[in-house]
Amino acid sequence: MSKPDQLEPLSIGNAFPVDTPAGDWVMVLSMAMNDLVTLDGKIHDALDNDGPEATYFLRLLCGTLRELWRLFQVADENEHVGKLIDDLVSEAREAYDEVRELFVHPEATEDDPDPRSWAEVHLKDVRNRTYHYPRVGSDELRDALAGASDEQAHRMDSGPRPFQFADLVALWISFGDINKPSERQRFEEIITTAKRIQERLIPVMWNALGVHLRSLGIDPHRLEAAEESDASSAPSESG
């Protein structure tokens, strides 16, 4: 195998041609994985250091995860993306199917005429309440203020999140009273499942990227090629 510095660099235009559904799908999944990995690291760093930003990153993580349902919907409806999924190796396909089950709307049954997926139950409201601040006078803000009324209203003199009272109310809006056993269990389930989703999507991401590039006749290792020298493209300063 050629070393990265011996491979020809690959342009985005060649790797992801415009109007290529499978390429579009891999690109969007790549965006999501960048966000998921970043947020997971931020969450654990904040938790390890008792950082007040941990709950903010968790809310962003839930919102990011919720957006994944569109990728599974497209894969079910678009034949080109469907073929990409079919071409995954067994390990990646099993991981894909496991995560898909959490996001795809279940079929209605006589016993459950209006079923909801795990993501709809646990992430939809969190996403909505994370990406949109509560309206002044809204029920969700009123309920959160009432529920958190006995908590200390504290402000820090320094730091990136000085208004701790706002974080407490935002946490209440997103997850309810996590001190209650039932809400605490739901909160912990979201954290645990979010971690599992990210871990299961890693082999899907790597394999899907390779399958897509090989379908274009491109060696995936070209993504690791050394960048072209800036000197070759920079204008000359002489003369």
d(CA 2, CA 225): 10
Residue-wise pLDDT tens digits, 77-103 = 999 999 999 999 999 999 999 999 999
Nearest to 42 by CA among 207, 153, 155, 161: 161
Residue-wise pLDDT tens digits, 140-149 = 899 999 999 9
Residue 85 lies in a domain: yes
pLDDT at 237: 45
**Are the beta carbons of 67 and 32 closer than 8 angstroms?**
yes
Buried b (16+ CB within 10 A) or exposed e, 196-227: ebbebbebbbebbbbbbbeeeebbebbeebee
Mean pLDDT value of segment 215-238: 70
d(CA 147, CA 141): 10
Residue 61 lies in a domain: yes
Residue 215 lies in a domain: yes
Residue 233 lies in a domain: no
Radius of gyration of the chain (CA): 22
Residue 78 lies in a domain: yes
**Are the beta carbons of 8 and 228 closer than 8 angstroms?**
no
Residue 235 lies in a domain: no
Helix 124-131 to helix 164-175 angle (10° resolution) is 150
Buried b (16+ CB within 10 A) or exposed e, 82-106: bebbebbeeebbebbeebbebbbee
pLDDT at 5: 58
Number of domains in the chain: 1
Residue 74 lies in a domain: yes
Share of the chain above pLDDT 90, in %: 44
d(CA 98, CA 91): 11
Residue 143 lies in a domain: yes
Q: Residue 209 belongs to what domain range? A: 16-225
pLDDT at 236: 47
Number of residues written out for the chain: 239
